[in-house]
Amino acid sequence: MENQYEVLRQECLSCQKCPLAQTRNHVVFGAGVPNAEVVFIGEGPGENEDLQGQPFVGRGGALLDKYLQAVDLSREKNIYITNMVKCRPPQNRDPHPDEVANCIGYLSRQLEIIRPKIIVCLGRIAANALIEKGFKVTKQH
Ligand code: SF4
């Protein structure tokens, strides 16, 4: 499983499939444990995420980590966290449908490898895209 995960990660890190590749600083593939039972999915990387190559960092990420810690969840221990699109849309705009369409294969394959019991969508775009793809969404924020 770890090998499959790493192959996919490397493929994604060099991806040029959509125009977001031209404006990103880093691909933000995901973070956490590859056998997580809970996966959190946001819409796309923001400025700090793009600069650091990690999902949900900065103030929002620290707050999320704090809430997760309160229920004994952490990306170091038992969850995985990623986004619908792996590169930052400029000015934090919503990802365009064609960008989501180009990128969602990475998310599908991440979920196939991780096989979580619960998927938590952080935001309407992530939830809608997963519903359209036929994923079972357990909880929506
Ligand atoms: S957003 Fe996704 S499809 Fe577009 S370049 Fe980044 S990794 Fe590739």
Q: Is the CB of 85 under 6 A from ligand 1?
A: yes
- State the pLDDT at residue 134: 65
User: Hey, what CATH topology would domain 2-140 get?
Assistant: Uracil-DNA Glycosylase, subunit E (3.40.470)
Chunk the chain into consecutive blocks of 10 residues (it has 141) and report each block's average pLDDT, rounded to whole numbers: 90 98 98 95 94 93 92 95 96 92 95 94 75 56 43
Q: Among 107, 110, 78, which residue's Cα sits nearest to residue 4?
A: 110
pLDDT at 127: 72
Question: Are the C-beta atoms of residues 48 and 26 closer than 8 Å to each other?
Answer: no
Residue 138 is predicted with a pLDDT of 45
Distance CA 50, CA 37 (A): 26
List beta partners, residue 32. Answer: 80
pLDDT at residue 135, rounded to an integer: 60
Q: What is the pLDDT of residue 132?
A: 73
For ligand 1, whether the C-beta of 102 sits within 6 Å is yes
Rounded CA-CA distance 85/21 in Å is: 11
Mutate to test the pocket of ligand 1, among 17, 96, 106 (most ligand atoms within 8 A of CB): 17
Q: Which residue type does 28 have?
A: V
DSSP 95: P
Is there an atom of ligand 1 within 6 Å of 49 CB? no
